[in-house]
Structure 1
Amino acid sequence: MPVTEGINLALMLTESGIIENAVNELMTRPQLMMAAESSPGIKSSMKHQVQKWRGYVQHRIAKVDVADRFNQELTLYQTVRQWSSDEFMENAEQVVRELESTSGFYFKARKLLDHDQKKHNPMFHSYFCHQWYEHLEGALKDAQKSELEHHKEELLKDLYQRIETMQHMEKVDEAGDEKRAGRLWDMAKAKLTRTDVERMKSIAKFLQKNSDLQQIADRLGRMANEVDDPNQARVESEELKMVEEKSDSVTDDIVGVHPSDDLARLLPNEAMFLAYPELEVVFYKHLVDKRLMNYRMQGASRKLRKVKAYKTQSKQVEQDKGPFIVCIDASGSMSGYPEQCAKALAYGLMQIALADERDCYVMLFSTQHITYELTKQDGLSEVLNFLSYSFHGGTDLAPVLDQSIELMGSEQYKNADLIVLSDFIAPSQTPEMQAKIATLKAQKNRFHAVCLSRYGNPALMDMFDTCWSHHPSALGRLLSRRAS
């Protein structure tokens, strides 16, 4: 058997259709069908997940343990296959002894070798190799099927886990639109406990109760579409427009004389030829030759024509929306009601990010900072870790701003929104920091501040594009909004 035969043997199962049958069997399971039909977004994400699994499994089982479990036996088979009948008979016992520790074919090989009539047949070598090949084919298929079943069970376990998590999330709030439901499915690998569900339900209810916070989140979500960028906003369009053109057929003005045959514009002295019978033939000759002197008339005619022009659509042009970077002050002064407000607003921004296909990062800062990526794969685990974090420590805004500025300098963070939620009881930032922020503002990134205290430093908040003040009072009202 040539070397490539071992590879072809390994590929047999992947080309036999058994993987397609496994995919079809998965997608027709009642529980999965019900979940897929519940939302177009979930159906699309589930289909993408299964197709990705299909590609992985096809690659995986094509190489299933060939290098370890079958390589030694395949090498021995290839060597024996190339022997002559005499060489095989001389070394047959040694081959069978090697098979004893490496292959399940040993018992069949021992039985074949002990059969005297077959052993002395000149075709015995070919027959022995053929039986050996059939054993290899069957053993590899069994190994691949076992590997396929293992991966299928893992996928089913994951799919059922996501369905369970989505059912828990329905108890927290509404699934929302198609895109949001689909991305939530991608994040739903995390297993939720009753405590996790209650924690998210509590935050969702808090956000719903404090509608002012939801309004801030909604306003922040819309700002990415309101970038006034003339370079992106000018678009070429074609429209009908009335234009004026010079025309000799329009009798607005007399601009001179010229030879022609237009009797309506004939100069009076040209008609004198008709007064004398002997000169009349001259008049007709000039008429035929278009040599009669005529007034030259000119004017402007108006016509509708298609004209190409550039129109400015400053705030209506769709922009690629960058991520939300939510920097939350986790100092001790933020514990209690401000902490609830910060977590609820971050949760609301995560919901908007899911619907708008944006990323959402949360950076908790005090004397150190911790980053959570709420919209990544397994993002619900990040959400739960963030919601369970207790605020303590002091306020140090500079390090988290440095990290955020470094992130926002890349192309991935173009048109991003950085939101700082704090009591802003802190000193103003250095001129160098303010200069860096000004540079990023010029690149269409936006900086927002949500102050959760009456005593925030106005000079510190002046470097942000927009500032909201939500005082952690019993009324929880949005008192002011100031644009810097």
Structure 2
Amino acid sequence: MNPKYDASFYIRVLDQYVATGECSDTDDEPLYAYLLSIMNDPMIKIQVLTDEVCARIFYDMMSQFIHLNLEKEKYNLQKSQSEQNGMKQTLEWSIARRKDGWQALLQQVSDKYETMGFGSSFYKSQFGNEEEKYGDDELWERMVEDWEEAFKRNLQEQKKKEIDRRKESLENRLHANLKNIPEYLRRHEVEKDEFFQAWGLMSGMWNTVDFERIRKVVRMQKEYPEIIKIANLMGRTADDEGRERLHVGQEDVYRLEHSSKNDIQGVTVGNDLNALLPTEMVHCADDDLESLFIYKYVTRKLQTFRYKSEIMQPARSLETKPAVHKGPMIVCLDTSGSMVGIPEKIAYSLLVKLLEIADRQRRPCFLIAFSVSICPIDVRKERARLLDFFSTTSCGDTDATRMLKATFDLLQSKKEYMNADVLWITDFKIPLPSPKLTDRILEYRKADTHFYGLQLGIAENEWIPFFDRVYRADYPVARCY
């Protein structure tokens, strides 16, 4: 029993609204209906469509609200799983069990769903007469269907109550942020890119103290330009004309090319007709299943092959090629005592920039903070933890063993990280682990997983042979190997 709309549906609605201002008038699903009521507010629409900062504020706050309510709905569904299973089992009751159990069953369902429109009196009159109609399979199935409909209406009512409980607080914060934040940025001459990066860490909870603290970290990027260079290596951006393209040059600039189509990585969902699974092709060719195929195409739910389509190769001439969105990012951040001071600040500044890229490109981004122990954080889903992390101070010794094992586990077992870029931010004062672990780095690189590094300081680095590329930030000069 799935929700009417999933998270991807709401994201598409928000994307379209922020880009064009277009949205439906109303809907009967509580969360979508509430979202539409906000989007159809003329004042909000004007602000979102005329101010890039307001658009970002609206998008992030509504995305967070949607995610929160969908998680609550998911929890309620899981909590009622036994009741859903009970409906299925009731359909399989024997005639003898129906005879002995129909009265107790109707009483149980009626006690819970009488106000949701479940007509228990009708079924009591049918099952209790001399004809013993509880043996009528069609009537019995109809009773279970009515039970299921009442169950769904009850879930929707719970969802509406959850929204009503939260919406006043959301609207107050939204209106205050749309008014106060642009005014603050103008008054303090804050650049948009600085705002977007700092705001990305604040989970929609604006306060000037946290903002200015994070902004100081962001401004390190002007002093150390290697931060932006590495961030762009991990995630390409559009050119000035708005087209997503890569400029390709000699030697130190790289270009993306597609690997061959027989390089199958796994199975995913989407609407790429060139990568359809054979079963989906059958649906396309069958007249009776054609409408199902069209629906799955429109909703991007066709089963397709996934290919390793991004391979970095040295560019030998200057040209322009379409850029392909890259995969997710795994960031391994050294938090040992040797990172205290400027290295720590540079590292945090790069991390904030990577988070902004991950948000903008909808790319998963996973942080593994390490010294001897590790602290893993899904940076797009755990903003509160990430903000707390920025308040800690580096300390302790360094050991890459646990960090490497955690990285390999992500690459191996988490399908969303199959095509990841891995970035180390460290002074590389790290003893080499066992050859078994370093050999695995080389194995993943052969499988087109890219390992990049930012070395903070000028210590001797034994790790360089295991990386695609290592940048080095000396103070104040930066260079790369």
TM norm structure 1 = 0.53
Which residue, out of 453, 471, 475, partners 1:468?
471
Q: 1:226 aligns with which of 255, 270, 281?
A: 255
2:227 is matched with 213
Report how far residue 190 of structure 1 moved.
4.5
CA 1:165–1:366 in 2, change beyond 3 Å: closer, same or farther?
A: farther
- Aligned partners of 2:118, 2:415: CA distance in 1, in Å? 56
Higher RCO, Cα 8 Å, sep 6+: 1
Aligned counterparts of 1:17 and 1:357: Cα–Cα separation in 2? 26
Q: CA deviation at 1:322?
A: 1.4
Match of 1:239 in 2: none
Match of 1:348 among 353, 356, 363: 353
2:439 is the alignment partner of 1:435:
yes
Q: Per-residue displacement from partner, 1:179-225 (whole Å, max 9, x unpaired)?
A: x97x9999864524443222211111222333332233223434998
Q: Number of residue pairs matched?
A: 328
| Structure 1 contact 225–318 (Cα < 8 Å) conserved | no
Matches within 5 A, 1:98-177: 148=160, 151-161=163-173, 167=181, 174-175=191-192
For the residue of structure 1 that corresponds to 2:331, the secondary structure is strand
Q: Which residue is 1:8 aligned to?
A: none
Aligned partner of 1:154: which letter? Answer: R
Match of 2:20 in 1: none
DSSP 3-state at the match of 2:462: helix
Q: Structure 2: how far apart are the matches of 1:198 and 1:382?
A: 19
1:388 is displaced (CA, Å) by: 1.1
Q: Helix, strand or coil for the counterpart of 2:260? A: helix
Distance 1:428 1:163, change over 3 A: farther
CA contact (8 A) 1:35 1:163 kept: no
Contact 2:221/2:349 (8 A) holds in 1: yes
The answer for the alignment partner of 2:287 in structure 1 is none
Alignment of 1:248-267 (within 5 A): none
The alignment partner of 1:226 has SS state of strand
Matches of 2:404 and 2:72, distance apart in 1: 43
Cα distance between partner residues in 1 of 2:60 and 2:32:
19
Task: Check whether the contact 1:217–1:348 (CA below 8 A) recurs between aligned residues.
Answer: yes
Which SS does the other structure have where 1:459 is aligned? coil
Q: CA deviation at 1:397?
A: 1.2
Is 1:203 matched up with 2:231?
no
Amino acid at match of 1:204: V
When residues 164 and 207 of structure 1 are mapped into structure 2, their CA distance, relative to the original with a 3 A threshold, is: farther
The answer (yes or no) to whether the contact 1:363–1:372 under 8 Å persists in 2 is yes
Identity of aligned residues (%): 19
Q: What is the CA–CA distance in structure 2 between the aligned matches of 1:418 and 1:313, rounded to whole Å? A: 14
Residues 373 and 382 in structure 1, CA contact (< 8 A), matched pair in contact too: no
Comparing 327-336 and 44-53, the one that deviates more: 44-53
Shift of 1:29: 3.9
**Whole-Å separation in 2 of the counterparts to 1:60 and 1:400:** 32
3-state SS of 1:203 partner = helix
Per the alignment, residue 393 of structure 2 pairs with: 390
CA separation in 2, counterparts of 1:392 and 1:360? 24
Alignment counterpart, residue 405 of structure 2, candidates 402, 406, 409: 402
Supply the distance in 2 between the matched residues of 1:59 and 1:455 (Cα, whole angstroms). 50
Q: Compared with structure 1, are the counterparts of its residues 164 and 345 closer, same or farther at alpha carbon in structure 2 (3 Å cutoff)? A: farther
Residue of structure 2 aligned with 1:27, choices 9, 27, 39: 39
CA–CA separation in structure 2 for the residues paired with 1:448 and 1:56: 35
Q: What whole-Å deviation, never above 9, does each CA across 1:121-162 have from its counterpart, x for those lacking one?
A: xxxxxxxxxxxxxxxxxxxx9x99898466235134235435
Q: Contact 2:27 / 2:33 at 8 angstroms: preserved in 1?
A: no
Comparing 341-350 and 223-232, the one that deviates more: 223-232
Q: What are the Cα deviations for residues 408-435 of structure 1, in whole angstroms up to 9, with x where unaligned?
A: 2354224321111111112223221222
Uncovered stretches (5+) of structure 2, i.e. residues with no partner: 1-25, 77-107, 126-152, 237-245, 247-252, 264-310, 316-320
Taking structure 2 as the reference length, the TM-score comes to 0.53
The match for 1:413 is: 417
Which amino acid in structure 2 is aligned with residue 446 of structure 1? H
Q: Is the 8 A contact 1:322 1:358 kept in 2?
A: yes
